[in-house]
């Protein structure tokens, strides 16, 4: 019982800070995306392709979350966008406090979009609101058709699903139709994109959606 009480208090404190983060982002009109996935799904590659495509169209900053190293932040920095690295030193997810500290290093008045690349994990990040407008869950075709069924909480919390590495489908025993059905069974309101960071397939559609979302404004969670 005490463990449950402590966990509830931790989440309540996190949610309080997340509300403060959301208020700051909303005040400055910044769309924040919490990008979540298993390790190796291609989150960083998707961000790279996104930055390439949106260069000169949107002002983007990135917060990178990793258990160890700053390798992903170094990759993102090559695109000459503001990037802040968070190293969790073993922690399996980002929390609202870590994001709040990272945001102090960014000039929100000069941003349209804040991409938060969470730690590669489909369990813990589902429970932690960071103050984002929405969660974007990325799954690669190499992970199989049943990933949404195994990790329903994450897919239920997400607003967007990106199915990445679709160029590998001819070499895999994976049915794209079934994968999408499994995800939409968990969350029928998911907006779904199919992408390949290698061939560029689907990147334009994904980025056009981002441009449209920023242009029209989006209600953040809790509004």
Please report, for the chain, the start and end positions of each structural domain, with discontinuous segments joined by +: 2-216
**What number is the average pLDDT over the span 98-107?**
98
pLDDT at 219 over 60: no
> What does pLDDT average to over the chain?
93
How high is the pLDDT of residue 61? 98
**What number is the average pLDDT over the span 183-198?**
98
Which residue pairs from 142-147 have beta carbons closer than 8 angstroms and sit at least 24 positions apart in sequence? 142/40, 142/168, 142/172, 142/174, 143/38, 143/41, 144/174, 144/179, 145/174, 145/175, 145/178, 145/179, 145/182, 146/182, 147/38, 147/122, 147/179, 147/182
How high is the pLDDT of residue 6? 53
- Which pLDDT band, with edges at 50, 70 and 90, does 221 fall under? very low
Tell me: the pLDDT tens digits for 41-62? 999 999 999 999 999 999 999 9
Cβ atoms of residues 161 and 191 within 8 Å: yes
Tell me: the pLDDT tens digits for 35-44? 999 999 999 9
How high is the pLDDT of residue 90? 84
- Which pLDDT band, with edges at 50, 70 and 90, does 223 fall under? very low
**What number is the average pLDDT over the span 190-204?**
98
Please give the CATH architecture assigned to the domain spanning 2-216. Answer: 3-Layer(aba) Sandwich (3.40)
In what helix (H) or strand (E) does residue 62 lie, and over which residues does it extend? strand 60-66
How high is the pLDDT of residue 220? 46
What are phi and psi for residue 172, nearest 5 degrees? Answer: -125, 155
Tell me: the pLDDT tens digits for 105-134? 999 999 999 999 999 999 999 999 999 999
Least confident of 5-14, 108-117, 187-196: 5-14
How high is the pLDDT of residue 7? 59
Tell me: the pLDDT tens digits for 84-96? 999 998 889 999 9
User: Which residues on adjacent β-strands are paired with residue 31?
Assistant: 113
pTM value is 0.93
How high is the pLDDT of residue 1? 43
If you search the block for the tokens 């695109």, which residue do you land on?
79
How high is the pLDDT of residue 68? 87
- Which pLDDT band, with edges at 50, 70 and 90, does 104 fall under? very high
């Amino acid at each position: 019982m005490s463990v449950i009480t402590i966990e509830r208090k931790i989440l309540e404190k996190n949610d309080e800070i997340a509300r403060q983060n959301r208020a700051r982002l909303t005040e400055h009109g910044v769309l924040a995306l919490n990008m979540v996935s298993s390790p190796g799904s291609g989150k960083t590659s998707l961000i790279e392709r996104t930055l390439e495509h949106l260069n000169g169209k949107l002002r983007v900053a990135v917060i990178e979350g990793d258990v160890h190293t700053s390798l992903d932040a170094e990759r993102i920095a090559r695109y000459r966008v503001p990037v802040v690295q968070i190293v969790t030193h073993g922690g399996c997810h980002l929390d609202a406090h870590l994001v709040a500290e990272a945001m102090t290093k960014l000039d929100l008045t000069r941003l349209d979009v804040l991409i938060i690349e969470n730690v590669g994990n489909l369990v813990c990040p589902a429970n932690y609101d960071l103050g984002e407008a929405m969660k974007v869950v990325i799954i690669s075709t190499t992970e199989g058709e049943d990933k949404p069924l195994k990790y329903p909480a994450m897919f239920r919390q997400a607003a967007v699903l990106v199915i990445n590495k679709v160029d590998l489908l001819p070499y895999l025993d994976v049915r794209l139709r079934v994968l999408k059905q499994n995800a939409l069974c968990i969350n029928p309101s998911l907006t779904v994109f199919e992408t390949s960071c290698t061939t560029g397939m689907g990147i334009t559609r994904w980025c056009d959606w981002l441009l449209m979302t920023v242009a029209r404004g989006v209600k953040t969670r809790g509004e």
